[in-house]
Structure 1
Amino acid sequence: MTTPQFGQAAPGAAYPDRPAAFAVIERDGLIALVRVERQGRGLVLDLPGGGIDGAETAAEAAVRECGEEAGLVVALDIDPFVQADHFFLHNDGEIRNTRGSFFVGRVLAEDAALKIEDDHELVWTSPEEALLRLDRESHVWAIVTWLRLRARA
């Protein structure tokens, strides 16, 4: 399957790739999202996750980001269930092509000491509400794919 590309690229503009990893974490029928201030757009909702740093794997990055953004200790499936790319304006003003791997996970524990990103707030919501409120279309795509896979399991 070809990886879908979301967002609009300006003609002739080059956007550096930024490998990233995100997690769909379900608990009691709700999924974890993070509310964050996005420069020029106000508060938005995203799946927990972010850029892959150094030599870490995509799964390691998603686990780390769940801790840093939401204070969640999570276990993830070994492989991502879907990948999606998104031209994304970061708070530093640079547009990058976020090359996202999306994992299914579950909460093992909550640990406030892991949460170091003070501008992120954990929000639990229904998958249907997430589809309406998520900021990034690539995250919406991931939730739709996850719902379909879950229904077929």
Structure 2
Amino acid sequence: MRPPPPMLQFGDRDPALDYLQRPTAFGLVFHDSRLACVRVDRGDASYYDLPGGAIDGDETEEQALVREFVEETGMAVRPFVRLAEAAQYFRKSDGAPVNNIAGFWIAEQLSLDPKAKVEADHELVWLHPHTALNELRHDAHAWAVAVWLRRHG
């Protein structure tokens, strides 16, 4: 039996830091040829991410993705295909070093209720996938979009 292939790793690891290995799930939802992204308001340091985030407790990737989409966008989604897996070293807004171990999912939008959103600094934006490639903060997120484009674009 062959070992699984090594996971694709993005970001630069600072050897002086101890990175928390953080299981995460992120989603790709398309509507009218646009990709759902979140613009995270940090003033001049604002950025774009795919909706998603950390897996809490014994959640599955799918459960975490459903919860994170509602918290960040107010959108109810149904994940249906796990597209890819990759990791990303980075420093969170509070400076904490983490390595997101991410499953990337294709999901469909079921409904949208902006009042259900709880993260006030997150705004749902719809970007053309090619624009998202340039705007997404994490290389792992852009890579997942590129994987989708290669298969469907």
- Fold shared, TM-score > 0.5 on shorter chain: yes
Post-superposition Cα deviations, 1:9-39, rounded to whole Å, max 9, x if no partner, equal 1124321100000000001100000000359
| 2:107 aligned residue | 105
Normalised to the residue count of structure 1, the TM-score between the two structures is: 0.91
Residue identity in the other structure for 1:57: T
Match of 1:115 in 2: 117
Using structure 2 for the length normalisation, give the TM-score. 0.91
Please give the alpha-carbon distance, in whole angstroms, between the structure 2 residues aligned to 1:71 and 1:88. 26
C-alpha RMSD of the superposition: 1.5
Is 104-113 or 115-124 further displaced after alignment? 104-113
Percent of pairs identical after alignment? Answer: 40
Correspondence for 1:124 among 123, 126, 131? 126
Preserved CA contact (<8 Å) 2:18 2:97: no
Please show how residues 138-149 of structure 1 align to structure 2 within 5 Å.
Answer: 138-149=140-151
Unaligned stretches of 5+ in structure 1? none
Between the two proteins, the alignment pairs up a number of residues equal to: 149
> Following superposition, which runs of at least 4 residues in structure 1 exceed 2 angstroms of deviation?
11-14
Pairing of 1:25-104 with structure 2 (within 5 A) = 25-38=29-42, 42-77=45-80, 79-104=81-106
**Alpha-carbon deviations, 1:74-97, whole Å to 9, x = none?**
1111x4210010012112210101
